[in-house]
Amino acid sequence: MADAIIARYQPTIDVLTHHGWDHSNSIVLHGIEKIYLHNKNAQYLDYIKNYADDYINADGSINGLLTTLDGMHPGVVCLFLYQQTGEDKYRLAAQTMRNHLLGSDTKPSTFNKTPDGGYWHKNDAKYKNVVSVDGLYMKDPFLVRYGVMFNEPNTINAALEQVLLVAQRSFNIRTNLAFHAWSYDKSPVWADPITGQANQHWSRASGWFAMALVDILEHLPKDHTDYSKITYLYQRLAQGIKAAQNPANGLWYQVLDAYNQPDNYPEISSSGMMVYALQKGVALKLLPSEYSLLAKRGWQGMQTYIKTYADGGPQITSVAPGMSSQTGYQAYVDIKPISVPSTEPIQYSHGYIGVLMAASVMETFEHYTLQHLPILID
């Protein structure tokens, strides 16, 4: 899969999305990074580096920074490249990303927050006082890794504060799944007038959430005061993911807790996210081994939706396009799945990330180690 992506999108992954310094590019590179950590293929490292070098200057400043949480995800690329190359510009770029969100001694953050402290998903009128579960994955694993690498407890705590706030507002204790988003104002048409929560469990939202939690727990020191809280939240979410898996094919569906509805459909990007989050949780001894069987069943089910494209490489089918919170169940399932690659003018990278992340733990599970954990820098 990684080889096909590199062959298709030259000179960088931005040929796929044209979104610049944004998660739609960096999530694919993050998946390639996971594969690189196992096979050490220099071509993979070069491909990631070529993308980053289009935006990162020698002083660590970054061209095209966005004031959206989606624009924060490339921070993980900066950390990865600093670990692999030792080039200081990547450390400085990671610092730029950290300060862009959290602010610094000389420049405050320009990101808006709800009155109770949650980051708006985007700094625009549509997302005013709207907190999306997706945003956790875009920023908080990066912040925790950054805080551990550079011994900044306040950065770690800022990330965990966001995770626990979003969980408090968006996690459904009845289903053990996350609602797509939450509105402080309760004014969007999709928001519950009492709770402000979205009314459906969109599959990819819980997928982002699950990956965020397990990646945070991989790096968070076990003696941190919030470690047990994050672990408990992750384990509860894993229970919800287990219950939402279709036992007939091992997959997870667009509306996560309604796989038995005839108009619902298997969603392959989130299925890959669930596979990754569960299998990695077993590897980290956060989940019992039975969850590995769920991951394997999901991985096997995904293969049915990986086809051969015209160029001879793999095509990922049955992938939901990007979307904001919808008004209800029917609105979610009426958004039909797409494939990547395709001949459509707009291409979505989410199918790639699901398969890459799942492959990084399923195809190498017997060799999975924590060798990629960052070394604490004093």
pLDDT of 377 > 90? The answer is no
pLDDT tens digits, one per residue of 253-279: 999 999 999 999 999 999 999 999 999
Residue 127 and residue 120 in contact, taking contact as beta carbons nearer than 8 Å: yes
Residue 368 in this model has a pLDDT that exceeds 90:
no
Q: Which of these CATH numbers, 1.20.1250.20, 1.50.10.10, 3.40.50.1360, 3.40.1130.10, describes 2-364?
A: 1.50.10.10
Residue tagged 């007038």 (tokens) = 193
Query: Crossing angle, helix 153-170 and helix 227-244, to 10 degrees?
Result: 40
pLDDT at 364: 65
Over 90: is that where the pLDDT of 340 sits? Answer: yes
Instruction: Please enumerate in sequence order all residues whose Cβ is within 8 A of that of 159, keeping only pairs 6 or more positions apart, or say none.
Output: 139, 140, 141, 143, 144, 147, 216
User: What percent of the chain is predicted at pLDDT more than 90?
Assistant: 94
Q: Can you tell me the distance from the alpha carbon of 137 to that of 197, in angstroms, rounded to the nearest whole number?
A: 19
Q: Give the separation between CA 165 and CA 182, rounded to whole angstroms.
A: 11
Is residue 294 within 8 Å of 239, Cβ to Cβ? Answer: no
Average of per-residue pLDDT across 338-356: 94
Tell me the pLDDT tens digit for each residue of 179-226: 999 999 999 999 999 999 999 999 999 999 999 999 999 999 999 999
Flag whether pLDDT at 372 surpasses 60: no
Share of the chain above pLDDT 70, in %: 96
Enumerate residues 6+ apart whose C-beta is below 8 A from 284: 214, 217, 218, 370
CB 17 within 8 A of CB 349: yes
Over residues 231-241, the mean pLDDT reads 99
153-187 pLDDT, tens digit each: 999 999 999 999 999 999 999 999 999 999 999 99
Greatest alpha-carbon pair distance for the chain in Å reads 56
pLDDT band at 57 (very low <50, low <70, confident <90, very high): very high
The residue written with tokens 């980290």 in the block is 284
Please provide the average confidence, as pLDDT, over all residues in the chain: 95
pLDDT digits (tens, 9 = 90+) for 78-137: 999 999 999 999 999 999 999 999 999 999 999 999 999 999 999 999 999 999 999 999
What is the distance between the alpha carbons of residues 245 and 59, in angstroms, rounded to a whole number?
Answer: 47
Q: Where do the structural domains in the chain lie, given as residue ranges?
A: 2-364
Question: Alpha carbon 24 to chain centroid distance?
Answer: 10
Determine which helix (DSSP H) or strand (DSSP E) holds 136, and give its type and residue range: helix 134-149
- Interval 276-328: pLDDT, tens: 999 999 999 999 999 999 999 999 999 999 999 999 999 999 999 999 999 99
pLDDT of residue 44: 98
**CA dist 303 → 208, 250, 355 (Å):** 21, 11, 9
- Please give the pLDDT value at position 363: 84
Question: Smallest Cα–Cα separation from 77: which of 138, 153, 16?
Answer: 138
Contact 335, 255 (CB under 8 A): no
| pLDDT exceeds 90 at position 365 | no
The predicted pLDDT at position 345 comes to: 87
Q: How many whole angstroms separate alpha carbon 242 and alpha carbon 74? A: 30
Say which residues have a Cβ less than 8 Å from residue 169's Cβ, sequence separation at least 6. 118, 131, 182, 196, 197
- Residue 69's alpha-carbon distances to 22, 206, 209, 228, in angstroms, are 9, 17, 14, 26
Task: Look up tokens 């070529």; give the residue.
Answer: 50
Radius of gyration in angstroms for the set of CA atoms belonging to the chain, rounded to a whole number: 19
